[in-house]
Structure 1
Amino acid sequence: MTTQLPWLSGDSAFPAPETALDYPDGLLAAGGDTSPARLQAAYRAGIFPWSSAGEPLLWWSPDPRCVISPAAFVPSRSLQKVRRQHAWHVTCNAAFDEVIAACAAPRAYADETWITAEIRAGYCQLHALGWAQSIEVWYDNTLIGGLYGVTVGQMFCGESMFSVRRDASKLAFWALMSLMRAWHVQWVDCQLENDHLISLGATIMSRRDYLAYLATQPHAPALPWSEAAAIWQADGFNGAAPA
């Protein structure tokens, strides 16, 4: 039996996440756009866009969901060694456009990217409005790694990361965990499970539990991103000794 996928147009609302398909896991709807209002509504409902060039815009809400607890994150010994031995510097929201462009670049293991021009434009608008953030890793004045995502209240929804130097994206992830732990954030959304995320300490959560937690977030105080540099200084980043 063929299932008719809901098509979004204009200001039409998203279907309930619970109506997403079992296969492909979490496919919920198609169409719509990446306007700030549409993207914000999606993240508040536990939905995110993910499609390839040439496809219509697709919206997903998988079950289960991949998440990570900042309190449980422990950097590996090898990553701690990288931080000690390399003169790398981390920043926050200093080069969002460059980070998402680097995340959209072709990878060695894939011929295409899901971060289309439409996706990039939408998230850059979100960043300009203060709803999307990036973490950058620099060597001298060269961007060598980073990640970006969207915040809903006090929940960070990770989107993508990149690295042009080995372990640079892992250092960006550690820097993110440092901030989230300092701000007592309970969960970071990683969306889809993969071996790399599991190696960093991610786990899975049912969609029902994820949506229940997410429902507590829209009215939570905004995360104080301007405090990032001071937190990293105290946590031993950027050449500082841990407090």
Structure 2
Amino acid sequence: MIHLFLNDLYKKKFVFLWMILSFKAGYLNAAGFLATGKFVSHVTGFGTQMGVSMAHEDYYFGAELLIIPLAFIFGSMIPALILDRNYDDRKIPPYPAVQFLITMLLGVIFFLGTSGWFGDFSTPTDDLHDIILIGLLCLVCGMKNGLTTWATYGKIRTTHLTGLATDIGLHLPKIFRGGIRSRFPEQRRVNTVRIATFVSFTVGSLVAAFIFPKYDFYGFIFPFILSVGLLAVSFVNYNEAKREHTVGDEKTKVA
């Protein structure tokens, strides 16, 4: 993730970044579903499924489902613990630290999967290894979404489509009707960015659907490489932002 200001979120040079993050989320979500039969990039519906499982006295399956929201929530907590600690507008948040953890976890998933620790890529019944895989993927997705949300002032989310689709629908009429006063005024390009991230999530899922049935756990090398690239970008941006910030402080002192 990179350090930027609220007014810069929807500039063209950053739209590609949001698309990459959304693509990766869709890819991981499809990977989780293909491997375990469960989605990992969002928690919608799992409360209902847990309730139904408990009602049918399927307590083991209900406990498995509980791992998904808990791991996602814990993953979302990590960026806040790292970035929101003694937050000061005059300091550059250590985004690379969170991106490093995401990259490391993806590397662990890739290593354990390709070494056979998780067993077969897709199995008809869940076991402890599947539960751990689900938990790790949900942890990664929670961290990804938490990092993006925190860095973009809550404006960009890349791991699920429910709220995004609602926002697209609410603002879509503005594209076709000009000159009317809206309760939710915003520039048209904002909705264009939403549509781009929506499409990227879908494309990521589509690509994963082709890759994982053929390559199994080796398919995780793709999001790992993307994550390494994002980590490098994050470090470069962090150092540049710190350097610019330092120069700005020195100019202020001189003045």
Instruction: Identify, as 1 or 2, the structure richer in strand.
Output: 1
Instruction: Identify, as 1 or 2, the structure richer in helix.
Output: 2
Question: What TM-score results when the alignment is normalised by the length of structure 1?
Answer: 0.26
**Larger RCO, structure (CA 8 Å, separation 6 or more):** 2
Question: What TM-score results when the alignment is normalised by the length of structure 2?
Answer: 0.25
